[in-house]
Structure 1
């Protein structure tokens, strides 16, 4: 009996170690996947505040909550099962999905650059008058969720591709993808909620009697417009950098190495002449290469869609 008990305890300890290792694998896979998708996350966080622009302050948080729920449904109910099924039945298709997603991000980024440089705007813009607030709010939520679906699809594809290099276990892939989806959604929309309410917090502090509170409030009120502009610029750069990088790397996976070799050749050149900062500046050099390529690719797509095919941008302005 004691021997049997010892054997049982030993079996339990083995199972516990395996379970702990699996949890650790999930954490590692989710962490690496999340870092690879960071650029798309930045764009998601930069894009979303625009969807509450022009609406009353009391509707900002309910709208963000509605978008958050839509984002979780996108990731957990639509994209997660689809990604796992695709990785099981047709794993080679993931590379082509990454190509399409990278091209879309390049297109979005290039279109924003063209509009900022004075090009024609496509779809309803934020400067248009709001005639029906309820309808406008519904349209903004729907537009945000559609944009989130595309960005989330790219995040899940990147994550799945990264997780696949760490583990072949179906359950680890599923758990890691779910963890990435939930964590990114909470981080992005939690940050967005804080950003869009910053001016309200600043106004509240500015009305307090404390001089420190007033100075802090005035700082927040002055910083809010600049922060939104900065986020818009960062989001555009992130789309071009991530989209271009994904496209180049996906072509490399398919055996088209020219752009990949050029980009990494440029990176290695920067590293060879920058000494102690070679790692950072080399990475930055490759990011710049990816962004420039993304702008060129996106510009071609913008020209073909809007000038040749005369297709407007129906998702609305960001």
Structure 2
């Protein structure tokens, strides 16, 4: 009797693990696009940090990301159990925030003169040469911004994964969500660490080995700045695509428009929703920035009246 009970338990565990492996594979495939956006955005956030502090900053953000997921996984399980209707509104808020951040970056670049941007760059360079207290404050701001952005993207990853396992038993949901959370964090920040140290690897190779090794090192040194610029651009674009995608999928009218556009474009049907999501992200970002600016001006006006 005991032996049969043990065999039954082992069979149940094997079945659960098999389901977990299958569902985790499906969830990983669905979140691949978000993973690319997460990578681009977080590599962008480290830009401007002193070379010797890049890995400590990446590590600090990685710990913040793991804390984000430690909050999001139980929250997702609780929402799935007691308030499944709240998933979409929460994702919509996150999507709107990503669009706002993306448009704020564009507005800062295109709505300010070259002199103002040069002054900002000079201030940033001065901060890098300032006392240690200024560097600590600069790094802290970078880390906070990166963790805040990571929270939104992590929430989408967890939400997509939750949708994959929504009909599964609780234990399967827990194991799949936890596994995806750990794998995505290690994967993203491992790659970010590799990318930000690419120039150091190039310098090392350019000073050692034969002619081929040194040529490879020089190539990496030449490519590293362009890669970081490309990642910065990709990160900004990703904000609009991810944020706009969340909004267009959450609003039925926009979702139908996206599907109609895909059908109308025929063989390029994959491009229609991408362009549509980007356009939605731009418009949403502009509206959010306008609302935020109006709120700041109103708050300042009311504050001035109160002081008066």
Same fold, TM exceeding 0.5? Answer: yes
**How far is the alpha carbon of 1:14 from its aligned partner?**
4.7
Whether 2:288 is the aligned partner of 1:293: answer no
Q: How does 1:96-245 map to 2 (within 5 A)?
A: 96-119=89-112, 128=124, 129-130=126-127, 131=130, 132-164=134-166, 167-245=167-245
- Residue 302 (structure 2) aligns with: none
What is the number of equivalent residue pairs in this alignment? 287
Q: 2:256 aligns with which of 252, 255, 261?
A: 261
**How far is the alpha carbon of 1:93 from its aligned partner?**
0.6
Question: Mean Cα displacement is larger for which, 193-202 or 46-55?
Answer: 46-55
- Residue 310 (structure 1) aligns with: 296
Say which SS state the counterpart of residue 309 (structure 1) adopts.
Answer: helix
Extract unaligned runs of 5+ from structure 2.
Answer: 298-308
| Cα 1:18–1:190 shift into 2, 3 Å | same
Is the 1:41–1:184 Cα contact (8 Å) retained in structure 2? yes
Is the 1:39–1:239 Cα contact (8 Å) retained in structure 2? no
**How far is the alpha carbon of 1:184 from its aligned partner?**
0.8
Is the 1:75–1:152 Cα contact (8 Å) retained in structure 2? yes
Extract unaligned runs of 5+ from structure 1.
Answer: 253-257, 275-280, 312-318
Is the 1:107–1:297 Cα contact (8 Å) retained in structure 2? yes
- Residue 50 (structure 2) aligns with: 56
Is the 2:99–2:285 Cα contact (8 Å) retained in structure 1? yes
TM-score, normalised by the number of residues in structure 1: 0.81
RMSD: 2.6
TM-score, normalised by the number of residues in structure 2: 0.83
Using the alignment, how far apart are the partners of 2:148 and 2:225 within structure 1? Answer: 26
**How far is the alpha carbon of 1:303 from its aligned partner?**
1.7
| Cα 1:118–1:216 shift into 2, 3 Å | farther
Using the alignment, how far apart are the partners of 1:246 and 1:139 within structure 2? Answer: 27
Using the alignment, how far apart are the partners of 2:87 and 2:105 within structure 1? Answer: 27
**How far is the alpha carbon of 1:12 from its aligned partner?**
5.0
Whether 2:16 is the aligned partner of 1:33: answer no
